[in-house]
Every structure is written in C-alpha cells, then in structure tokens.
C-alpha cells in the first residue's frame, strides 16, 4: 500500500512514541471512525483506551514469558476440585486474589504426589503474571543445579539474583528428591535463597511432599 508523506511521518511518530497499536491499526481505526461518525473527544478516548489495553496485554505476555512457567499453562479454572474433596476451594480462591502476596506472606502446599500441588502453584504464578508482577517459577532441583553450577563457575552471586530479585518466587517439588535436602551444600544454597527473600520481605510459594519424618 502506497502511503502519503503525512501518513509515513505519522507512523514514524507512533513508532517513536511507542504507540504500537495505533501504528498497526491506524487505517482500520480511521475507517471505523468515519463509519461510526463519532465525535473527536470520544475518538481520542477510544484510541488511548485501545493503546492502553494493547500495552497491558504485551506486558502480561512478557511477564508470563519471563516467569519460565512450563507449557501448557495451568489455570485455576481447569483444576478439578472434586478430585480433592479435602481441599478447601474457598481458601484457594482467596489465594488467587494474591492478598498473601500484597501482605508479603508465603504459601506452602504440602501433600502426596499427584494431589495437584504443582497445578495450583503454577496457576497462582499465572495469576500473578496477569497482574503484571515480576514472577519466577522453578523446580527445586533446577534451582539447586543452577546454583551449584554458579559455585563451580564462581558466578553464584549473579545467579542468586535470579531467585532473589523477582517479586514472587515459586519453588516447585521441594524435596521431590530427598537427597537434595540431605546434602549440606544443597541445603545451604536453598537456605540462602529463602533467607535473602525473607530479609527483603518477598513472598514465596513452595510445593513439597516432605511433611513428616520417615
């Protein structure tokens, strides 16, 4: 499509200002405005609202990507509460409001394998991303392997930031391999992460099947 000099300048200005939605949908927006014969003030408000909505969606997409959540994403809407009749649905839905996060509290899901702990933890992570919080999801094993590599490569300090910096950290399957908690070095690395986040009053979500001594 051939564009006039004025249209090209307009597009360049949109790009400069970061108005991605307006740049992409400019022609459609003008056609829609002409067809509906709306007033100038309403037209401007609609453009700003559409731009804000598009920016919000991009931000959510970025947060989800940076969270390292595994796909397919787990949603609370897909959790079968009838499968776990002992689980209090109201409590989980209260957690979904992320009030615990705003209060700088942490959540611990304890139970046998296959009870849906990971699903719930990942679903809460997804909810936090939708609120555009900076979140990081990891299994305990992956985190300890990464930090151990940092000890070996002398990059532990920078790797620790990956787990300390996010507003919410989710550590899944803690104690899935009992040995990882019985080795002093691994336990020390886990403690460093938890302690740093505690000192900075940052929330955690854990899942574990370790709840009693053998």
Q: How far apart are CA 138 and CA 204, in angstroms?
A: 11
DSSP string covering 82-113: GG-TTS-HHHHHHHHTTHHHHTT--EEEE--T
Instruction: Render pLDDT for 168-180 as a digit per residue (tens, 0 to 9).
Output: 999 998 875 555 5
Whole-number Cα distances in Å, 43 to 29, 34, 55, 129: 9, 10, 18, 31
How many C-beta atoms lie closer than 10 Å to residue 182's C-beta?
Answer: 10
Q: How far apart are CA 144 and CA 151, in angstroms?
A: 10
Whole-number Cα distances in Å, 85 to 60, 112, 157, 211: 32, 15, 44, 20
Confidence at 181, pLDDT banded by 50, 70, 90: low
Instruction: Render pLDDT for 91-148 as a digit per residue (tens, 0 to 9).
Output: 999 999 999 988 999 999 988 888 899 999 999 999 999 999 999 999 999 999 999 9
More reliable by pLDDT, 195 or 182: 195
Confidence at 41, pLDDT banded by 50, 70, 90: confident
Decide the pairing of beta strands 135-139 and 107-110.
unpaired
**pLDDT of residue 214 exceeding 50:** no
Q: What is the DSSP letter of 69?
A: P
Supply angle C-alpha 104, 140, 65, rounded to 5: 70
**Strand ranges across the sheet with 168-174:** 107-110, 203-208, 168-174, 135-139
Identify whether the C-beta of residue 22 lies closer than 8 Å to the C-beta of residue 29. Answer: yes
Instruction: Please report the domains of the chain, with CATH numbers, ordered by start residue.
Output: 5-67 (no CATH), 76-208 (3.40.50.300)
On whether the pTM is more than 0.75, the answer is yes
């Amino acid at each position: 499509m051939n564009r006039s000099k004025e249209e090209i300048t307009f597009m360049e200005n949109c790009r400069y200002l970061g108005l991605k939605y307006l740049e992409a949908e400019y022609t459609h927006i003008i056609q829609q405005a002409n067809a509906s014969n709306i007033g100038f003030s309403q037209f401007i408000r609609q453009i700003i609202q559409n731009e804000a909505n598009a920016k919000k969606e991009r931000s959510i997409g970025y947060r989800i990507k940076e969270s390292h959540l595994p796909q397919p994403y787990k949603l609370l809407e897909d959790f079968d509460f009838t499968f776990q009749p002992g689980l209090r649905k109201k409590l989980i839905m209260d957690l979904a409001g992320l009030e615990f996060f705003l209060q700088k509290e942490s959540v611990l899901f304890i139970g046998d394998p296959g009870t849906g702990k990971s699903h719930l933890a990942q679903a809460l992570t997804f909810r936090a991303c939708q609120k555009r919080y900076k979140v990081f999801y990891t299994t305990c094993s992956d985190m300890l392997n990464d930090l151990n590599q940092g000890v070996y490569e002398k990059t532990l300090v920078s790797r620790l930031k990956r787990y300390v910096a996010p507003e919410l950290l989710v550590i899944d399957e803690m104690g899935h391999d009992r040995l990882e908690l019985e080795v002093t070095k691994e336990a020390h690395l886990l403690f460093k992460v938890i302690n740093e986040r505690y000192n900075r009053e940052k929330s955690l979500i854990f899942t574990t099947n370790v709840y009693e001594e053998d």
